[in-house]
Structure 1
Amino acid sequence: FRLFITCDDSLQMAESYSENRKRLRNFVVKQVDGFLVVSTKTKIYLENLYPKARCKFIYFPIIQDDILLAKKINANRKKAESYSNEYSIGNKKILLYVGRFVSVKNLPLLLKAYAEVKKDDNLLVLVGDGEMKSIVDKMIHELGLEDNILQTGSLYGDDLYAWYYLADFFVLASYQEAFGAVVNEALVGGCFTLVSDHAGAHTLISDGINGYVFKSDDEKDLKKKMILTFDRAKKGGHCSLMPKSFEEFYQDIINGFESK
C-alpha cells in the first residue's frame, strides 16, 4: 500500500508549528507517500522544507463539485428575488459575508473598513451568528451603518444559496483560517471575492480576475480593495469564477497518486 494523508494548514499555520509539532511533522513526512494540502503556498513551503522527502505534496483545495453546487445556487433564483423584494435591495451592489461571528473572522476590521467606503448604492449582508453578535451590533450602531448593513442570522441550504445567487461580491477577512470553504461557494456563485492572505482559500484568487487578496489585519489595504471592488459593475451572470473546475483539481490528485 501507498499512504497519502491530508493537511489543511494555511501557510501561516504551517510556519508557526511548535517544536513538538515540527518533530511530529518531520516523522510523518518520512513515513508517507503523499500530503494533500489546501494551499499552493503551503505546498511550496513544504517542498522547500523537505527537498529530499520521498513523499509528494499535492494541492487540492477544500471545494465542492462546481457543477452540482452551481445547480443548487441557480435553483434559488426565485428565493433570491424574494429577498430582493423583502429587503428593498433594488439595484444596490451587495457585498456578502458568510460565517460565524467569532474573533478569528475579524469582523471588526471588516466593519471599520466598510464604514469608510459605504454608499447609498451598496449593502453589506452578514449571514451568521455567534459569540461576537453583541459586539457586531454595537459597532454597527457606533459606525452609523444601520442603513447599510443587513443581518440575516445563520442560514443553511437553499436559504443560503439564494444569497450567493443575489450577491455581487464576497468577503472573508479572517486573520487565521485553514482554508475557508465559503470562498469556493461564493466563486461558484459568480461573486468577485475579497480574501485575507491569512486564509488558505486566498490561493484561489487571481488579483483583479476573480477577486483581490488583502493583507491580513490591514484596514487600509482592505479599504483600498473594497473601493476597487465596489467600482466594478454588478454581477452580470452566474458563471463560476473558480480558477479551475472540480474535475481539473481532482485530476491533479489522480496524477499525484499515479506518479512514483
Structure 2
Amino acid sequence: MRNDKVKMLVFHPVIAPYRIDFFNELYSQFGAEVCLFYRNLRSQKFDYEKIEKQFLFNPIYIEKKGSFVSWVKKIVHQLSVSKPNVVLVSELGVPTLITILYKFITFKRYKIVSMIDDSYDMVAGDKQFSWKHKYATKLLMPLLDEVINVEPMVTDFYNTKFNKGFFFPIITSDKIAKQCLEKVIPISNEYIKTYHLQGKKVLLFVGRLVKIKNVSFAIKAFMKANIPNSVFVIVGDGSERKNLESLAQHFENIIFTGRLEDDELYAWYNIAQCFTLPSLQEPFGAVTNEALQGGCKVLISKVAGSLCLVEEGKNGYLIDPKNMDDYIKKLISILDDADACDTIHKVRQNLMIYTFNDKFEGFYNKVQNLIK
C-alpha cells in the first residue's frame, strides 16, 4: 500500500538496469516523482527504450541541454512545484548542492537523502575518483539528513564520522531475477551447444574491458591454473579488448563474446559455475548480485563494494587483485566442487545472502522515521 504521508522527489542522473527495481519500488511505495538528467549512461550504452518499458512510472527528464543556468532553474522549479517532504539525490554533485541551498534559502523543511556508491576502499583509503568528490563529502555531508551506502563498512565509517549512514547494497528483486533466468534457459542451452560447453566448467567475467577491471590478471591466472575441461567466458567490450584478445590468442578455451545485455547476458549466469570481478577499484559491482542470483559462486576483489555480498567459502571468496597464486587456489577450489555444464532444465539456487524485499523494508522504515 502506498504511503501518502511521504511526498518524495528524486533527482538521479539515469537509471541503469540494476537500479530499475529500486526506483519502481520508490514509486510503488511512496508515489515518488523521478527526475532524470540523461537518457543513457555515459560510460556504457544500454538499450534505453527497453529500460524505459520496465518503469512503473513516467520519469521527468531534466536533461542537461542548453546553458548551465537554465538547467539549474529547471531543478529549482521542480523543487518548487513538487513540494516534497523527502528529496532523494545521487552522490554530492550540483543537484545535491542546489537541493541543499534551496532548502535553506526558502526555509523548506524537507529531508535530503543522498545515494553514495563509494566502496570502503575509496572512502577510508582516500581514493575517491576525483578531488571534487573528496571535498564535496567534507562540505555537504553534514548538511544531509541521511545517506544510503552500498557497503556496511562504509555505513559504519559515515556513522562514526557524520552520524548518518544506511546500508542498502545495489541488488535487484529476487523474484524478478528468477523470472528472467527462467525465461532465458533456451538461450543458455543454445550457448552450451554453440560454444561446446557440455561437460565443461565455466569461469565468467562481465563488464567493461578497461585496465581498472584487471581482466588481464584473471586471464593470466586462468591460463596458469590450467584446469582441465575449463572455459573462461569474457562478456564485454572496451579499450583493452584487443590487448586482452592478443594475450589469450593461443588459448581456445578463452571466449570473448563482445558486449551483451538483457536476455543474452542473463543466459550466461545460468551456465557459469564461477563469476569473477578482479577490479583494482570498484565502487560496487552490481554484476556480483546478478551472478549470485543465477547460482554462480564468485571471486570478488577485496576493494570492490560488492564484497559485502560474499560469505567466504559459502557463495565465493574475496581475492587480492594482485595475488595470482591465491586467486588460482580459490578458483580451483570453486571449480573442483562444481558440476560441469549439462542441459539446463531449471534455474539453480539463489546464492544471495540479502534479499531486495528485506533491504527495501528497512529503507521504508528509515524514511518513515525521517519525517516524524
TM-score w.r.t. length of structure 1:
0.91
* 1:109 equivalenced with 2:209 (yes/no): no
In structure 2, the partner of 1:31 is: 143
Q: Residue 259 of structure 1 aligns to a residue in which SS? A: helix
- Are residue 245 (structure 1) and residue 355 (structure 2) matched? yes
User: Larger Cα Rg: Structure 1 or Structure 2?
Assistant: 2
**Structure-1 separation of matches of 2:356 and 2:146:** 20
1:70 to 178, 183, 188: 178
Please state whether the residue corresponding to 2:176 is helix, strand or coil: helix
Instruction: Look up the SS of the partner of 1:134 in the other structure.
Output: helix
* Cα gap change, 1:148 to 1:20, in 2 (>3 Å): closer
Change (3 A) 1:258 1:162: same
1:39/1:203 contact within 8 Å kept: yes
Report the CA distance between 1:105 and its aligned residue. Answer: 0.5
Q: How does 1:86-165 map to 2 (within 5 A)?
A: 86-141=194-249, 144=250, 146-165=251-270
- Unpaired runs of 5+ residues, structure 1, are none
Q: 1:21 and 1:154, CA in 2 relative to 1: closer, same or farther beyond 3 A?
A: closer
The aligned counterpart of 1:259 is 369
Residues 1:49 and 2:153 are matched in the alignment: no
What is aligned with 2:85? none
1:198 aligns with 2:276: no
Q: Which residue does the alignment assign to 2:96?
A: none
Per-residue deviation at 1:175?
0.6
Contact conserved, 1:120 with 1:148, CA < 8 A, in 2? no
> Which consecutive aligned stretches of 4+ in structure 1 deviate over 4 angstroms post-superposition?
17-23
Residue in 1 aligned with 2:81?
Answer: none
CA contact (8 A) 2:298 2:317 kept: yes
- Which structure has more relative contact order (CA 8 Å, sep 6+)? It is 1
Query: 1:100-137 deviations in whole A, cap 9, x for unaligned?
Result: 11011001111111112122321111111111111101
Is the contact between residue 126 and residue 150 of structure 1 (CA under 8 Å) also seen in structure 2? Answer: yes
1:11 aligned partner: 120
In the TM superposition, what is the alpha-carbon distance from 1:20 to its structure 2 partner? 6.1
Partner deviation per Cα, 1:199-258 (whole Å, 9 max, x = no partner): 111111000111111123222221221121112122895121111211011112123223
Distance in 2, matches of 1:12 and 1:82, equals: 40
Which whole-Å CA distance do the structure 2 matches of 1:33 and 1:257 have between them? 10
Unaligned runs of 5+ in 2: 1-109, 341-345
- AA aligned opposite 2:275: F
| Structure 1 residue 2 displacement after superposition | 1.7
Contact 2:273 2:335 in 1 (8 A): no
Match of 2:293 in 1: 188
Q: Give 3-state SS (helix, strand or coil) of 1:151's partner.
A: strand
Q: What is the distance in 2 between the residues matched to 1:23 and 1:126?
A: 37
Give the distance between the partners of 1:30 and 1:248, measured in 2 at CA.
Answer: 28
Does residue 1:230 correspond to 2:335, yes or no?
Answer: yes
Give the distance between the partners of 1:167 and 1:157, measured in 2 at CA: 17
Tell me, in whole angstroms, the C-alpha distance in 1 between the residues paired with 2:215 and 2:256. Answer: 13
Separation (CA, whole Å) in 1 of partners of 2:166 and 2:276: 27
Distance 2:136 2:261 in 1: 37
2:294–2:347 Cα contact (<8 Å) kept: no
- Secondary structure of 1:228's partner? helix
TM-score, normalised via structure 2 length: 0.65
Contact 2:182 2:347 in 1 (8 A): no
Q: Distance in 2 between matches of 1:104 and 1:20?
A: 20
Retained in 2: the 8 A contact 1:58–1:252? Answer: no
Q: Give the stretch that moved more between structures: 221-230 or 154-163.
A: 221-230
Distance 1:83 1:33, change over 3 A: same
Give the AA of the match of 2:335: F
Aligned length: 253
Residue 217 of structure 1 corresponds to 322
Partner of 1:231, secondary structure, is helix
Change (3 A) 1:91 1:40: same
